[in-house]
Amino acid sequence: MTLVTKPRLQRKWLFQAPAHVRYKHFSAPLSPELKKSHKTNAVPVRVGDTVRIMRGERKGIEGKVSSVDRKNYRIFIEGVTREKVDGTAVPVPIHPSKVMLIKLNLDDKWRNEILKRKGAKEKAEEEKPKKKKEKAKRKPKPRKKVAEKTLEEQAKKEKKKTKRKTAKETEAKKEETGVE
């Protein structure tokens, strides 16, 4: 996948993304306690997770995720509703980046494996001693041939310039003396 810097194409890729890419866009940060226990910073939100809203009018409200709308990149939380003019309650869509996961739904064995793998990766990175990698210095290739060619080319150019100068000088002298 190539990186795109144009906002127009970023939006295009976001809204035309396949399901496996959209899944990763639903990542939300974990609470500090979960970060310590699972040794990872963020996990995609799923139905059944308990989240706390961190931004907007409903900041601080906690609730379970009732549904996930992958098409519009929004989640719906139990208890977070808006009352319509006719009196009916409608769930409010919230972007997953604006919430923090407080409790994970670990009913799925695949999700458990993902969390173990992510935690193991970070654990392995911590255990590795950080060493500076020394780049192998390459010996410079002999460039005698190139240097000789450039010197020869420069000498030819100088000769042409002197020929041109001499031709111009001779014409100027002829005009001054009046000799043809």
Output the pTM of the full model.
Answer: 0.64
What are residue 62's DSSP bridge partners? Answer: 52
User: pLDDT 10s digit of each residue in the chain, 180 long?
Assistant: 568 899 999 999 999 999 999 999 999 999 999 999 998 999 999 999 999 999 999 999 999 999 999 999 999 999 999 999 999 999 999 999 999 999 999 998 998 898 888 887 766 676 766 665 666 677 766 665 555 667 778 877 777 776 666 677 777 777 777 765
Supply the pLDDT for residue 33.
Answer: 94
Distance of CA 13 to the CA centre of its chain: 13
Q: Give me the pLDDT at residue 67, please.
A: 96
Q: So what's the pLDDT on residue 66?
A: 96
**What one-character DSSP code corresponds to residue 60?**
T
User: What is the rounded distance in angstroms from the CA atom of residue 103 to the CA atom of residue 94?
Assistant: 18
Q: How far apart are CA 56 and CA 98, in angstroms?
A: 8
For residues 30 and 37, is the Cβ–Cβ distance under 8 A? no
Q: Is 43 helix (H, G, I), strand (E, B) or coil?
A: strand
Residue 68: CB atoms within 10 A of its CB come to: 18
Q: Which pLDDT score is estimated for 85?
A: 96
Q: How far is CA 178 from CA 80, 165, 166, in A?
A: 103, 19, 18
Q: What pLDDT is stored for residue 118 in this prediction? A: 85
Q: Which CATH architecture has domain 7-121?
A: Roll (2.30)
Q: Give residue limits of the domains in the chain.
A: 7-121, 145-175
- 105-129 as b/e: b if 16+ CB within 10 A: eeeeeebeeebeebeeeeeeeeeee
